Amino acid sequence: MHEMSIALAVIEQVEEAAGRAGDVTAVRTVRLQVGELAGVVPEALAFSFELACAGTLLEGAELVAETVPGRARCAPCDHEWAVGMPPRLSCPRCRGSGTDLLSGRELRITSVRWDDGATAAERTREPSFEER
């Protein structure tokens, strides 16, 4: 189950960011963008995240996963469409196969909310973990 390795990587990155921030006492929320084509089972990721957070700064943190739909563009005719599941990668307009995948493979941290000292703070940061 690769969802556990994803959860562990997310936890590691959040802990590193919290360490750089200084006096973080607890992580409350982690928001992720998860592409529908990333091969991630949301329930398995949530379960893995909860297990992996035990005994860390993230223990009890909420994982909020936003699904990013798959979208593609046909290089020859410039038509864009929702890829769907199972993925349709040939152009529905011209039937061409010169397809560029625009979205749907994302797996990135978009924000983290934590307590630092006496206040809660939300840190939105550039994504640094992306699985392709």
Domain total of the chain:
2
Lowest mean pLDDT among 5-9, 50-54, 124-128: 124-128
Q: How far apart are CA 92 and CA 88, in angstroms?
A: 8
Structure-token match 């934590």, residue found: 114
Q: Is residue 14 within 8 Å of residue 31, measured between CB atoms?
A: no
Q: Is residue 38 part of a domain?
A: yes
> Do 53 and 7 reside in the same domain of the chain?
yes
Q: Is residue 110 part of a domain?
A: yes
Average pLDDT over residues 26-30: 96
Structural tokens at position 103: 């979205």
> Do 19 and 63 reside in the same domain of the chain?
yes
pLDDT value of residue 61? 97
Q: Is residue 130 part of a domain?
A: no
Q: Is residue 56 part of a domain?
A: yes
> Do 11 and 52 reside in the same domain of the chain?
yes
Q: Is residue 10 part of a domain?
A: yes
> Do 110 and 58 reside in the same domain of the chain?
yes
| Residue 85 structural domain | 70-103
Q: Is residue 85 part of a domain?
A: yes
Q: Is residue 128 part of a domain?
A: no
Q: Is residue 51 part of a domain?
A: yes
Given a cut of 90, is residue 36 above it in pLDDT?
A: yes
> Do 6 and 54 reside in the same domain of the chain?
yes
pTM (2 decimals)?
0.80
pLDDT value of residue 126? 40
> Do 50 and 85 reside in the same domain of the chain?
no
Q: Is residue 80 within 8 Å of residue 102, measured between CB atoms?
A: yes
